[in-house]
Amino acid sequence: MVGQAVNRARVVLLVLLLATSPCALAVDSVTLADPAQQARYLALTHEIRCVVCQGESIADSNADLAADFRRQVREMLIAGKSDQEVRDYMVARYGESILYKPPFNVRTAWLWLAPGILLIVGAIVAVRIQRQRAALVDQDNEPLEEDVRS
């Protein structure tokens, strides 16, 4: 039993190591001196889209332009800018699509609300269909009528 547990622990460890190895080979090797700034830097660079790559944040991309973006974020943080000031700077130059998480406003409301609305509509439809089917089963279970039995 103990051997089994050890084996299981080894497997878990192996999976964890494999899962985290890409992080060890991270694109971005620069670390900010202040840990709080470093945390904000990491969060921001994962939030900003790399404009020359498909589906990558500037934290994950080794494109030249992404490196320039990271430097820009770094310098702004060191200069004491807030996270929102960094976002605003990028949005002012590259548009809202530069952010992975689009802001909630009148223009993007449908984008945020549509999945929820569709889910509710789907749930209502599913419940109604289920009830109708259940009703059919009840009808089926009624005793056979006289004329059929005879």
Please, which residue, 37 or 72, has the CB nearer to another protein? 72
Q: How far is the CB of 92 from another protein (least distance, A)?
A: 6
Q: How far is the CB of 95 from another protein (least distance, A)?
A: 5
Count of beta carbons in the 10 Å neighbourhood of residue 8? 10
Please, which residue, 8 or 93, has the CB nearer to another protein? 93
Coil/strand/helix, residue 47: helix
Please, which residue, 2 or 92, has the CB nearer to another protein? 92
Contact positions toward another protein, by CB under 8 A? Answer: 51-52, 64-65, 68-69, 72, 91-95, 97-98
Rounded distance between C-alpha atoms, residue 142 and residue 145, angstroms = 9
Count of beta carbons in the 10 Å neighbourhood of residue 61? 22
Rounded distance between C-alpha atoms, residue 43 and residue 40, angstroms = 5
